[in-house]
Chains A and B, each alone.
Chain A
Amino acid sequence: MISFKLEEEQQIARDALREFADQVMRPIARECDEEEKLSEEFLAQSWELGLVSTQIPEAYGGGGEERSPITNAIILEELAWGDVALAIAALTPAAFAYAIVDHGTDDQKQAYLPLFCGDSYHAAALAVNEPTVAFDPSIPRTVAEAKGDGFVISGVKSFVAMGDRASHFLVVARNNGGLDAFIVPRDAEGLAISKNEENLGLRGLPTATLELERVELPASARLGGEAGSDVRQLLDNSRTALAAAMVGVSRAVLEFAVPYAKEREAFDQAIAQKQGIAFKLANMHIETESTRWLVWKAAAQLEQGIDATRSAHFARGYAAEQSMWIADQGVQVLGGHGFIRDHLIELWFRSARTISVLEGTLGI
């Protein structure tokens, strides 16, 4: 039945996170970006919301709620509206944990899920992106080979969120012609973790480059065990999550630009009264809405277990194009003031460019 109806709990979650984003994230976003430093206090506050543990089964210490990509897409839009770097920092463990819930063996669930059900923030991350031109997540350069009962992995992964402290990385690699994901502990021999990367945007988010040089792993490190896992689904899930975050950035820009344009005057009128500006705002709204529905459709398919590859491809591709365009228009609406770091528009412009080239990273 085609419906856009939010469940009551989804509305409650959205409203609560909107408030959290507004009161906790917005005030610190600029400082984290300027100082290239995450707020530990924020991590603790976000952990208290139970964002990560809620959808982990009770048997492993979690909240036991059904996995819901739709609910998570809604939550992610709100958090990214607050700040993308902080949103990714808060939800990086969830991306890892959801992959284990969705694809892990019982032993893997037993081993890793309890890590995310404790009282304090625990980091583990997806390692999908690679620093290659025209990166294609479906044919990574990182490769696994069978060796004895286990595997040997080599390759380079970049933009690995929370790389400064993650206890484990879920590394996507080519294996025997297909794709697999491997759980690699931080202290694995042959794994070199760089110091924090210096990126265009999301500067508050610590990210690292991982160099894997013949890292030896036991058979049990392969996600899904002997059967392996549906890495395609995992990547679709990430794409939908990234797109949801891009909707948050777009909405942030639009909601900032609208009151600004009403206030700012030129040629005896508010600039918003000029169609050149008003129509930009209308287009920004149209595309923010369009993108959100693409995200919801992909998330609904993921939730229902329907093949979401096509929808996730559209959601991510469309969101990438539109969120960059919207942020770009936002700068233009503010004129010179859009170029100055006093306003968050400048930060969102960099966030949009940064997040829209990523794969992996998030999960819903």
Chain B
Amino acid sequence: MIDFEPTEGDQKILDQVRAEALICRNYARYYDEHEHEFPPEELEEAKGKPNVYTMFAGRSESDSGIGIMSMLISAGQTWGDYSVRMHRGTGGLGNAALRAAGTPEQNEKWGETTLAMAITEPGCGSDPSMVQTTAVLDGDEWVINGEKIFVTTGCRCDGVVVWATVDKSAGRAAIKSFLIEKGTPGFVVAQKEKKLGIRADDTAAFVFSDCRIPRGNLLGGNEEVQQKGSGGFKGVMKTFNMTRPGVAAIGIGMAEAALDFTRDCLTEAGFEITYGGGLHSAPAVVDKFQRLEAKYEAAMLTILRAAWLSDEGEANNTEASVCKAKTGEAVRQITQGCIEILGPMGISREHLLEKWFRDVRITDIYEGTGEIQRMIIARSLLGYTRKELN
């Protein structure tokens, strides 16, 4: 049945997430201004409180799906703050890759660790098939050489899933994922990047020089390089089907915070925000605000749609891109619009709105830019291959 209301059980979890998020918000400004300090693994306030994810136990069939709830929880958390959590989360983007492509043994070995994901290089971002980092088999070890940049959780992760080519002449089919643990000789965290927003997040640059890892660290274990087609590569790309909705959810939570703040300011200033009147009945500022709200609603629903398909076990490749593209644009328009509505008050660092405006900007960039998502959507609409539309 088509339904958009969380169950009582869902709501209990989401209420707790929001309550915790409000606590985290108290720390938001501090870690934004102290970019090189890390938020604690666990806040003082978290002591003795259950991690929300443990509340998933005991949920029934009639509650919303795990994918849907993960999106709502992410959004609820970032509604508080992007980087500060009561409890540190249970993994990074690399963990999603491990779950999607790792062997059972690999999942057993690294499933509990926090893994970052390193695809992007100084010379290659949107087109990951141009990865220059190399992996050469030498006896029972892979030797990794290359540079990776913009690695989320790069400083605090226990290890990283690195994309490298085993044969530069073989194109995309030769790109494989390798699991490299922190502390491996030849693996250096070169720097923590300085950013526009999400400053408390540790985004790092890595250098690998003759970094030797065991042969078994090839994710999925398939050493073969298919000469034709991109089957293997597509497998690797599958990771994005939940991470794209995931980063969209992260973005929409911040946009919601911006809307809530703006609504409070408008109400306090005496503007009445009502619905149901004519299209031209509200004052311009209220109309503008409501249009931003509609964008929020629309984006949120595309995220839930992609997550729901995943919960149903259905393909959601296009929908993951739809929600990422839609949200990437919506959160920019929403936070930019909220500042416009509030004017000088909106740009003051006394409030978090200017921070949200900076923080959400990443949504349309990482995990594939808005342009790349549109290319994926268009290819799917048109039945085009990568060759026919790029």
A134 at the A/B interface (Cβ < 8 Å)? yes
Q: How far is the CA of A312 from the CA of B297 in the complex (A)?
A: 12
Q: How many Cβ-Cβ contacts under 8 Å join chain A to chain B?
A: 159
Query: Which A residues are in CB contact (< 8 Å) with B6?
Result: 1-2
B384, A273: Cβ atoms closer than 8 Å: yes
Cβ of A176 within 8 Å of any chain B Cβ, yes or no, is no
Instruction: A235 to B381: give the CA distance in the assembly, Å.
Output: 35
Interface members, chain B 235-283 (any A CB < 8 Å): 275-281
A146 at the interface (CB under 8 A from B): no
Is A185 positioned at the interface, with any CB of B under 8 Å from its CB?
no
- 1/0 per position for B367-390, CB-CB distance to A under 8 A? 000010111011001111000110
Give the Cβ gap from B54 to chain A, nearest Cβ, in Å: 21
Chain B proximity mask over A1-38: 1 for CB below 8 Å, otherwise 0 = 11111110000000000000000000000000000000
Known contacts: A279-B374, A286-B325, A290-B326. The answer to whether A301 contacts B4 by CB under 8 A is yes
Interface bin, chain A: 35 or more
Tell whether B57 is near chain A: CB-to-CB under 8 Å: no
Chain A residues with CB under 8 A of B297: 294, 297, 311, 314, 318
Contact A136 B281 (CB under 8 A): yes
Cα A134 to Cα B290 with chains together (Å) = 17
B187 within 8 A of A: no
Partner of B276, one of A6, A235, A282: A235
Question: Complex Cα distance A272/B308, Å?
Answer: 30
- The yes or no answer to B1 lying at the interface (CB within 8 A) is yes
Q: A359 vs B280: C-alpha distance in the bound complex, in angstroms? A: 13
- Shortest CB–CB separation between residue B180 and chain A, in angstroms? 36
- Where chain A touches its partner, the secondary structure class is helix
Is A278 part of the contact surface with B, judged by Cβ < 8 Å? yes
B5 & A304 in contact (Cβ 8 Å cutoff):
yes
A3 touches B381 (CB 8 A): no
Q: Pick the contact of A272: B298, B377, B384 (CB < 8 A).
A: B384
On chain A, the residues within 8 Å of B277 by CB distance are: 136, 138-139
Which one of B18-26, B61-69, B88-96, B346-354 contacts A? B61-69
- The answer to whether B308 touches A286 (Cβ under 8 A) is no
Tell me whether A136 and B382 are in contact in the complex, defined as CB-CB below 8 angstroms, given that A2-B64, A282-B374, A314-B294 are known contacts: no
User: Does any Cβ of A come within 8 Å of B301's Cβ?
Assistant: yes
Interface residues on B, range: 35 or more
* A residues in contact with B281, CB < 8 Å: 134, 136, 138-139
List chain A residues, Cβ under 8 A from B374: 278-279, 282-283
Q: Which of A2, A137, A275, A278 contacts B4 (CB 8 A)?
A: A2
Contact of A134 among B62, B278, B305 (CB under 8 A): B278
Q: Say whether, besides A5-B2, A278-B389, A314-B297, A320 and B378 are in contact (CB < 8 Å).
A: no
Task: Please give, as numbers and ranges, the residues of chain B lying within 8 Å of A136 by CB-CB distance.
Answer: 277-278, 280-281
Q: Which residues in A have their C-beta under 8 angstroms from that of B7?
A: 1
Contact with B along A302-334 (1 / 0, CB 8 A): 001010011111100110100000000000000
A183-240, CB < 8 A from B:
232, 235-236
- Residues in B lying within 8 Å of A, measured CB to CB: 1-7, 10, 62-65, 68, 275-281, 290-291, 293-295, 297-299, 301-302, 304-305, 308-309, 312, 319, 322, 325-326, 371, 373-375, 377-378, 381-384, 388-389
Report, nearest first, the 7 A-B pairs whose CB atoms are least far apart: A136-B278, A293-B301, A134-B280, A278-B378, A290-B298, A282-B374, A313-B275
Question: What are 26 A-B pairs at a CB distance below 8 A?
Answer: A2-B4, A2-B68, A3-B2, A3-B3, A3-B64, A4-B308, A5-B312, A134-B278, A137-B278, A258-B382, A273-B389, A278-B374, A278-B375, A278-B378, A283-B374, A285-B377, A289-B305, A293-B301, A293-B304, A297-B4, A301-B4, A304-B3, A310-B275, A312-B276, A313-B290, A320-B279
Residues of A within 8 A of B (CB): 1-7, 70, 134-139, 232, 235-236, 254, 258, 261-262, 272-273, 275, 278-279, 281-283, 285-286, 289-291, 293-294, 296-297, 299-301, 304, 306, 309-314, 317-318, 320, 359
Extra 7 A-B pairs, beta carbons < 8 Å, given A314-B293, A317-B279: A3-B2, A3-B65, A136-B280, A258-B381, A272-B389, A293-B298, A318-B298
